[in-house]
Amino acid sequence: MTRTLPSYILGRWQTPDDAGRPLLDAATGEDVALISTAPPDYREVLDYGRTVAGPALRELSFAERAKILKDLGKQLSTQTEEFHVLSARTGATKRDSRVDVDGGIGVLFVYASKGARDLPTDGPLLDGEAEWIGKAKSFGVQHVYTPLTGAAMQINAFNFPVWGMLEKFAPAFLAGMPSVVKPASQTAYLTQLVVQRIVESGLLPEGALQLVCAPAGDLVDHLTGQDLLSVTGSAATAAALRTNPVIAGNAVRFNAEADSLNCSILGPDATPGTPEFDLYVDQLVTEMIVKAGQKCTAIRRALVSRATLDEVADAVGGRLRNVRVGNPDSDDVDMGALVSLPQREEVRAAVATLSSECQLVHGNPDSFELVDADPKRGAFLPPLLLCCTNPGAQAPHTVEAFGPVSTLIPYDSAAHAIELAARGAGSLVGSVVSHDGTFVGEVVLGLAPWHGRLLVLDRDDAGESTGHGSALPHAVHGGPGRAGGGEELGGMRAVTHHMQRTAIQGPPAVLANLSAQGRP
């Protein structure tokens, strides 16, 4: 019998007794689990986090919380094999699973080491130095950070069931706030397994991490000004939550990571035969096929100088011809399945809209070869490359096909490339692939206001570059406008997001005492 996913709430695993709805294997269509259709009592869940875990977490120093994150990372690292096996059921290949599972565990280690190295061993976290207001220096101000006393409500998207949870949990925990995780239903079974192993480790103070495998229900109604709401998902979900009267009325700290029409720009200097041309093609192909293109950071718009458009199309098409699609468990496969059949239909519909203004230059969504898989039961699509020779078209700058889909668009000058990039209305990440310092300088500063992160790739940094699509715990992950206007990661920025900054005004002795406690 297919099991219903339990939630870990109020200090124990609880399995709802409603019939639930089935969650299907992305590649085979078999049942993996059932998920409840009945939301829990979110008021109770949030209160439990605030009252049971909050005080216990705030009792711990940054160093102690950092040590727990490190131990947790070590513990989970010994269990990755079983996570990878279950991850394949989301459609992920072995490489995809490493991005999600091992990448997520990596975030724990990064925050553990930042916590140990960059935060005070005891006392509050200071924001800058004390400033004296009066000439006699008998009265000054020192800004300090203290953890909010509520709970961090975290709503995640389906595409990163492990990383998505851990990248939100790690900074919240380091800051001293309890997390309530609501995974996307479609892949909640993998999040649930990881949380089960976390709970079994006994490393976390009780209530520091609760998991709700159920719909969002009325969770927003119970959030207060000491809580946070972080959401990763579509622009529509982010907008609905942002404009909820409770979020506005209680000034709930809100962070959204939404969808994004990220661009990658090939410099005019990067003609065929240059290392940058090859790097560009390689990166574009990688971003199209990793996680079957279901990455918020994937390259949706490939901007290339008009002179190289055909050559890039040929080179990318040539590489995509060798991409084997099919059973994600197979070693012979480069790209697995989309997460579900409805998701595949959404991508097909988006490609149809794009095709009204663009031409499909590689791949056919209705006819392609599959390795060891059933095209009717699995949510497969081939990589699809489009070309839009009219850069003034609407669809490529407004429609997100959340799958292995990218569109080539020609630009005529550096200013034109910036203008086209900005038509995405705000993106998580952009990249510039060029070895021409003048072009790079002009384009990077022009793109910056429209992006949360920018990668410059050339022959000099390619060896160590982490690539266009990798959100890193060290760097801001978020972007303006359509991308949600948030900053989910970014080192200490993500930690202090969970804390209140307060200006403490007073005499030198009081400020000196704070400073003495609050240094790393």
Quick one: which of 259, 269, 276, 357 contacts ligand NAP (CB under 6 A)? 259
**Residue from 194, 279, 296, 312 in contact with ligand NAP (CB under 6 A):** 296
Q: Which is nearest to 231 in space by CA: 290, 166, 182, 286?
A: 182
Q: Which residue's beta carbon is nearest to the bound ligand NAP?
A: 233
Contact in structure between 48 and 10 (CB atoms under 8 Å): yes
Of these, 257, 287, 334, 357, which contacts ligand NAP (CB under 6 A)?
257
Contact stretch for ligand NAP (CB under 6 A) within 237-245, 384-392, 409-417, 429-437 = 237-245
DSSP three-state, residue 323: coil
Q: Identify the CA nearest to 89 among candidates 474, 420, 377, 477.
A: 377
User: What letter would DSSP give residue 202?
Assistant: T
Closest CA to 208 of 53, 50, 11: 53
DSSP string, 371-435: BSS-TTTS-----EEEE-S-TT-SHHHH----SSEEEEEEESSHHHHHHHHHTTSSEEEEEEE-S
SS3 230: strand
Q: Of the two residues 203 and 216, which places its CB atom closer to ligand NAP in the complex?
A: 216
Q: Does 280 bind ligand NAP (CB under 6 A)?
A: no
Nearer to ligand NAP among residue 142 and residue 186 (C-beta):
186
**Per CB under 6 A, does 7 bind ligand NAP?**
no
Measured on CA atoms in the order 40, 46, 49, 51, is the torsion positive or negative? negative
- The least distance separating ligand NAP from the CB of residue 147, rounded to whole angstroms, comes to 24
* Closest distance of CB 489 from ligand NAP, Å: 9
Query: Is the CB of 190 or the CB of 428 nearer to ligand NAP?
Result: 428
* Residues 320, 362 contacting (CB under 8 angstroms): yes
DSSP 19-58: --EEEE-TTT--EEEEE-SS---HHHHHHHIIIIIHHHHH
Q: If phi over 0 gives left and psi between -120 and 50 gives alpha, with beta otherwise, what is residue 97?
A: alpha
Cβ nearer to ligand NAP, comparing 230 with 305:
230
Residue 241 is a binding residue for ligand NAP (CB under 6 A): yes
Nearer to ligand NAP, 267 or 293 (CB): 293
Question: Do the Cβ atoms of 169 and 209 come closer than 8 Å?
Answer: yes
State which residue, 93 or 156, has the beta carbon closest to ligand NAP. Answer: 156
Q: Does 290 bind ligand NAP (CB under 6 A)?
A: no
Count of residues engaged in binding ligand NAP, rule: CB under 6 A: 25
Site string for ligand NAP, 406-435 (x = CB under 6 A): ----------------------x-------
Scan residues 142-161 and list those touching ligand NAP (CB under 6 A).
Answer: 155-159
Distance of alpha carbon 483 from alpha carbon 451, whole angstroms: 9
- Among residues 252, 259, 206, the alpha carbon closest in space to that of 56 is found at 206
Residues comprising the chain, all counted: 520
Task: Give the nearest distance from C-beta 477 to ligand NAP in angstroms.
Answer: 6
Near ligand NAP by CB under 6 A, which window of 60-68, 134-142, 236-244, 266-274? 236-244
Out of 232, 255, 283, 406, point to the residue binding ligand NAP (CB under 6 A).
Answer: 232
Q: Specify whether 388 is catalytic.
A: no
Q: Which residues contact 147 (CB under 8 A, 6 or more apart)?
A: 57, 58, 175, 176, 177, 498, 499, 500
The residue from 10, 216, 393, 472 that contacts ligand NAP (CB under 6 A) is: 216
Catalytic residue among 257, 276, 287, 488: 257
Angle, helix 163-175 to helix 103-118, in steps of 10 degrees: 20
Binding string, residues 172-211; x marks residues near ligand NAP by CB under 6 A:
----------x-xxx-------------------------
Task: Check if 257 is active-site.
Answer: yes
As measured in angstroms, the least distance from the Cβ of 94 to ligand NAP is 21
Residue of 213, 296, 387, 388 with catalytic role? 296
Closest CB 394 distance from ligand NAP, rounded Å:
18
Smallest gap, in angstroms, from Cβ of residue 32 to ligand NAP? 15
Of 232 and 308, the one with the shorter C-beta distance to ligand NAP is: 232
Cα angle for residues 79, 80, 86 (degrees, 5° grid)? 105
Identify which range of 6-14, 135-143, 254-262, 409-417 contacts ligand NAP by CB under 6 A: 254-262
Amino acid at position 58, single letter: R
Based on the shown chain and the rule CB under 6 A, indicate whether residue 258 belongs to the binding site for ligand NAP.
yes
Which residue from 113, 224, 234, 515 is in contact with ligand NAP, where contact means CB under 6 A? 234
Q: Phi first, then psi: give them for residue 427, nearest 5 degrees.
A: -130, 160
CB-hemisphere CA count at 13 Å for 219?
25
Chain residues 67-126 in contact with ligand NAP, contact rule CB under 6 A: none
Near ligand NAP in 479-498, by CB under 6 A: none
Residues 178 and 151: beta-carbon distance below 8 Å: yes
Q: Check residue 402 for interaction with ligand NAP (CB under 6 A).
A: yes
Token pair recorded at residue 239: 């907008």
CB of 97 to ligand NAP, least distance (A): 16
- Tell me: does residue 240 bind ligand NAP (CB under 6 A): yes
Residue numbers annotated as active site: 257, 296
Q: Which residues bind ligand NAP (CB under 6 A)?
A: 155-159, 182, 184-186, 215-216, 232-234, 237, 240-241, 257-260, 296, 400, 402, 428
